[in-house]
Amino acid sequence: MPQSGQPRDGRARLLVASNRGPLSFSEQLDGSLVASRGGGGLVSGLMSMEGGDEAVWVCAALSDADRLAARRATDGRLDLDGHDTGGTAVRMLDIDPATFNRAYNAIANSTLWFVHHLLYAIPTAPVFDAPFRREWASYLAYNREFAEALAEDAAPGAKVLVQDYHLTLTPRLLRELRPDLRIGHFTHTPWAPPEYFRVLPAAVARETLLGMLGSDHAGFHSPRWARAFADCCIDVLGAECGEDEGCLTVTCDGHTTRLGIHPLGVDVEGLRERAGQHDVASRLATTRESIGDRQVIVRVDRTELSKNIGRGLLAYAELLRRYPQWRDKVVHVASAYPSRHDLPEYREYTGHVQRLAAEIEDEFGTDDWRPVVLHVTDDYARSLALYRIGDVLLCNPVRDGMNLVAKEVPVLSENGCTVVLSTEAGAADELGAESLLVNPFDVSATADALHEALSMTHEERRARTDRMAVTAGKLPPAQWLADQVSALG
Ligand code: G6P
């Protein structure tokens, strides 16, 4: 395996494009840049693949420090500028910050994310006015920068895997530039049903779908999301849907896109190795000490509107009210680490969650018992400690493409963990039979499910957890990636 992932002759046979890349930078007081690695699963997946040494990962610079790093490297190629990219060639695009912010914050995160997760408070939002049109133009420009970079780096006939709702327009733009390429797109979120998707201005709805249909293969985590995408194509574009060897297909303007289902799973070995490290063990000891011999209900999420942390806390409060036998016998540890704080909705949501936790503390807390512990800072080792120690996992998103936490917890659980799982998470397709499914809006039903989960015998909990762990490991990131490459023929 080469040290640097420089593709032979500078032209890649395999390309991955995503908004967030495997490296991010921070600038030190002396002006130097420090890199940190993320996106582990995809990096190792890429490198373990045949031809992985001829791959390029194209991503956006997300911060000023990223932009500095991208500018310092020739053509944004971080791997050629001495950065440890895990052996993969990484091209970071130095996109104009105003264009990037409008594309990422206003369109990707405040519009497409809201549409696919059904997050709008409809009486007041969304509002598609003149500023929105400018934001949409920036989203198009940002997608075009990706398409142009991919077109430059791709060898003839190369395969390109475009990721997520940030890059819905790139497949079509790329096909126009390079009709010889095999293009795949993968959506990590749910897809909105047509009635909701139609809140988008007609031209925006059309461009989004046509952009995606520039791909030869469009992947989703769940058949529910693929079906919704096909329904939107029929409804908005008048496209034709069919089936080919068990795959849904969408045909529009003479081009056919196959829809594939690839429910991402867990890298079991990698996760267990990380969770066995010293920092996790030390967090585990502290957490155990504060919980004593009580049961623990855990949750681990980004502080994300779709994760439904608020109704989770309301359900916990209702549990303590209606099933008082659990008072002083259980602790709810909720890790809600920060996310997308450039958006006011997310900052307000953090405050809302903190207020609810304080109310529970006020109503039920005693000198010897803290009923709820809420963490709003990021600490991956602490999250992994919670994965290991939880008796019950509360995972109740209002809607979720997959939800990997629901798969990771059974893999790491020490004593077995009952999963209270939203029917609206993609993970419910595979884990539904072994978990306790809940309607995420039904706080009372969630309280009942928590009671049932806490009351479950150790044997049953263990047996369910073991079966879920097997399911969770079925499609690890490397295989998930390889499947999408082979789906491109
Ligand atoms: C979640 C979603 C992904 C998305 C990512 C972006 O993990 O499931 O679909 O790509 O968030 O998060 P970011 O922090 O980059 O906005």
pLDDT of amino acid 16: 95
Q: Best substitution site from 16, 18, 20, 166 to test ligand 1's pocket, by max atoms within 8 Å of Cβ?
A: 20
Q: Which atom of ligand 1 is nearest to the CA of 188?
A: 9
Q: Which atom of ligand 1 is nearest to the CA of 20?
A: 15
At 85 the pLDDT is: 86
Query: Among candidates 219, 214, 223, 42, which has minimal Cα distance to 143?
Result: 214
Q: Which atom of ligand 1 is nearest to the CA of 108?
A: 16
What separation in Å is there between the alpha carbon of 189 and the centre of ligand 1?
A: 8
What is the structure's pLDDT at 434? 98
pLDDT at 5: 46
187-217 pLDDT, tens digit each: 999 999 999 999 999 999 999 999 999 999 9
Please write the tens of the pLDDT for every residue from 40-57.
Answer: 566 666 766 666 778 999
Distance in Å, CA 109 to ligand 1 centroid: 9
**Residue 407 CB contacts under 8 Å (≥ 6 apart), including other chains:** 265, 266, 427, 430, 431, 468, 471, 472
What's the CA-to-centroid distance between 140 and ligand 1, angstroms?
19
- Best residue among 104, 164, 191 to mutate for probing ligand 1's pocket (most ligand atoms within 8 Å of CB) is 164
Q: Could you tell me whether strands 23-27 and 330-337 are parallel, antiparallel, or unpaired per DSSP bridges?
A: unpaired
In the reported structure, the alpha carbon of residue 335 is separated from the centroid of ligand 1 by a whole-number distance in angstroms of 17
Q: What domains are defined for the chain? A: 8-264+478-487 (3.40.50.2000), 268-472 (3.40.50.2000)
Report how far ligand 1's centroid is from the alpha carbon of 457 (Å): 36
- Ligand 1 pocket test: pick from 188, 408, 480 the residue with the most ligand atoms within 8 Å of its Cβ: 188
Name which residue sits closest to atom 9 of ligand 1, judged by CA: 188
Predicted pLDDT at 324: 98
- Provide the pLDDT for residue 8: 47
pLDDT of residue 435: 98
CA of 190 to the centre of ligand 1 (A): 12
d(CA 192, CA 26): 36
Q: How far is the CA of 320 from the centre of ligand 1 (A)?
A: 33
Give the pLDDT of the chain (489 residues) as one tens digit per residue: 334 445 545 689 999 999 999 899 999 999 899 999 875 566 666 766 666 778 999 999 999 999 999 999 999 999 999 998 888 899 999 999 999 999 999 999 999 999 999 999 999 999 999 999 999 999 999 999 999 999 999 999 999 999 999 999 999 999 999 999 999 999 999 999 999 999 999 999 999 999 999 999 999 999 999 999 999 999 999 999 999 999 999 999 999 999 999 999 999 999 999 999 999 999 999 999 999 999 999 999 999 999 999 999 999 999 999 999 999 999 999 999 999 999 999 999 999 999 999 999 999 999 999 999 999 999 999 999 999 999 999 999 999 999 999 999 999 999 999 999 999 999 999 999 999 999 999 999 999 999 999 999 999 999 999 999 999 999 999 999 999 999 999
pLDDT value at residue 420: 99
Ligand 1: which of 16, 18, 19 to mutate, most ligand atoms within 8 Å of CB? 19
Distance 16 CA to ligand 1 centre (A): 16
Rounded distance, CA 105 to CA 223, Å? 28
Question: Using CA positions, which residue lies closest to atom 10 of ligand 1?
Answer: 164
Distance 289 CA to ligand 1 centre (A): 33
**Ligand 1 pocket by C-beta < 6 Å: which residues?**
20, 164, 188-189, 339-340, 401
